[in-house]
Amino acid sequence: MPSSSRSISRRRILAATGAGLGVAIAGCTGDDRSSSAADDAHATHEASEGGPPRASTHEYESLQVRADDAERFVYQDDDAAPDPDADEDTPSFRRSIVFVTDTDEADALWIDAADSVEAELRSFVDDTDFGTQTVAIDQRGIDDCYRRQLLRVQAENDQFRTAYCQQLKDPEAACVADRRLMEAVVIRVERVYDETPSGRGSSESMSCRGPIVHGENGLEDDAATGNASSTESTTNSTSASNVTAEGDDR
């Protein structure tokens, strides 16, 4: 539950349906190995538009969890959390990223989600070795019938950048059309930041091109690049192509 004495929010009452979307692992061994997780499978896709993408600079693991509404549900600490008396009918659509650089910051995280979602998120953060790793929690809105793929992470000096794409969920996956949710992509990257990077950016395409390859142990590649053999694949994707840059999730 949130680490505060604030009154329980509307979401806490309704949040029995929030669910973790799994953990993915990715590396950076010359080709852009990248991975993300969704509610029905581990799946990845490597962006190929406009030539080869920049590779991830460091190895990383990621966890994706969703709230049952469009409001942010992870804040740096109690002071940064929303006022429970504020208007909760106004959703927080703009993306937000929270950096966790040590155990004190991990303990101070304010999380307002279903118990299972909070437990999964905290467990992932608690498994971090802050002597060699940093956690970034990137919150971005998403339509219920879409899944997000984390393509790569660039953790450079005082800069942190991510790249994503989205595609429709599998036809058999349950979802509600036109329902907007908040998703937290929790990234544990193999580098230390003594403080929050001042430069942060992200891009997201509304089209994941090519087949989605499912590899063993969460280490996957885009089959279209010929980088890895696949164990299974799916080809569902959106027909739209749209890229959003820093600051907004769509």
Q: What is the pLDDT of residues 9-48, one digit of tens each?
A: 444 434 433 444 445 655 543 333 333 333 332 233 333 3
How far, in Å, CA of 132 to CA of 109, rounded? 20
Residues 181-197 have pLDDT tens digits of 999 999 999 999 988 99
Domain ranges of the chain: 10-244
Confidence band of 170 (pLDDT split at 50, 70, 90): very high
Are the C-beta atoms of residues 206 and 165 closer than 8 Å to each other?
A: yes
Residues 55-111 have pLDDT tens digits of 888 999 999 999 999 999 999 999 999 887 766 555 554 667 999 999 999 999 999
Tokens for 61, please give them: 């693991």
pLDDT at 39: 34
pLDDT at 84: 79
pLDDT at 234: 25
> Who has greater pLDDT, 235 or 205?
205
pLDDT at 137: 97
* % of the chain exceeding 70 in pLDDT: 58
How many residues are listed for the chain in this entry? 250
Across 115-142, average pLDDT? 97
Element (H, E) at 43: strand 42-43
pLDDT at 113: 95
Q: Given a cut of 50, is residue 6 above it in pLDDT?
A: no
Q: Given a cut of 80, is residue 155 above it in pLDDT?
A: yes
Strands of 60-66's sheet, edge to edge? 19-26, 60-66, 180-189, 134-143, 96-100
Across 161-177, average pLDDT? 94
pLDDT at 89: 54
> Who has greater pLDDT, 86 or 163?
163
Angle at alpha carbon of residue 61, lines to 58 and 66, rounded to 5°: 135
pLDDT at 201: 86
Confidence band of 218 (pLDDT split at 50, 70, 90): very low
